[in-house]
Amino acid sequence: MLVTYIELVDLIDQGMIVGKDGNTIPVSNINGASVDITIGKYLLYEEREGRIVDLSHKESTNISQGDLVDSPYILKPNEFALVQSYEIFNLPNDIAFIYKLKSSQSRSGLDAANAGFADPGWNGSVLTIHLKNNTQDHSFVIKSGMKLGQCVFFRGKAVPNEESYAVRGQYNNDKIVTSNKGVR
């Protein structure tokens, strides 16, 4: 079942989403059936030296970390980067969410490349958001604090504790943007 405004407000008051500094997220970020997410402090960007990456051996691309508080990042045409949410998520065992890019960013040519799903029990973690500039001639400024996308939450039957993401997930309790930890 889709989680809407009144329940979202209650869940946020209970700590399902908090700011990285422990503050409650602004009510203005809560929409009728979604919650706006903002960009946090760090990003990972692809280094220009290409190589073949074997995902079956849990290899990752060559990446560097940038600090968005010190200066914004310019995402060039066809470039890929990972950013972290400012918000930290603490999902109960009966709630999952799908992340979607805000339509205005998407209409400009920015893409949040798939992998935008969080399982029940995912907690203590920032969301790592996959960005791709799909334009051929325009660059995008990526800044800490800017609204980027929204999370749409769903409630179902509770997942048993031993099967929840808190127990089984490899990206649980990530405090900063995280690259590929390998394919399981």
- pLDDT higher than 80, residue 117: yes
Distance CA 178, CA 130 (A): 10
pTM for the complete prediction?
0.85
Percentage, residues of the chain above pLDDT 90: 59
Distance CA 93, CA 163 (A): 9
Residues 121-157: tens digit of each pLDDT:
989 999 999 999 999 999 999 999 999 999 999 999 9
- pLDDT higher than 90, residue 1: yes
pLDDT at 140: 95
Task: Answer whether 110's CB lies under 8 Å from 78's CB.
Answer: no
Output 85 or 62, whichever has higher pLDDT: 85
Output 54 or 6, whichever has higher pLDDT: 6
Please give the radius of gyration of the chain, using alpha carbons only, rounded to the nearest integer.
Answer: 17
pLDDT at 169: 67
pLDDT-derived band of residue 166, with 50, 70 and 90 as boundaries? Answer: low
DSSP string, 147-174: EEEEEEEEE-SPPPGGGSHHHH-TTTT-
Nearest CA among 78, 61, 86, 63 for reference residue 140 = 78
Domains and CATH numbers, the chain: 5-47+61-158 (2.70.40.10)
- pLDDT higher than 50, residue 183: no
Amino acid found at 28: S
Mean pLDDT of the chain: 87
pLDDT at 78: 92
Among 25-29, 53-57, 175-179, the range of highest mean pLDDT: 25-29
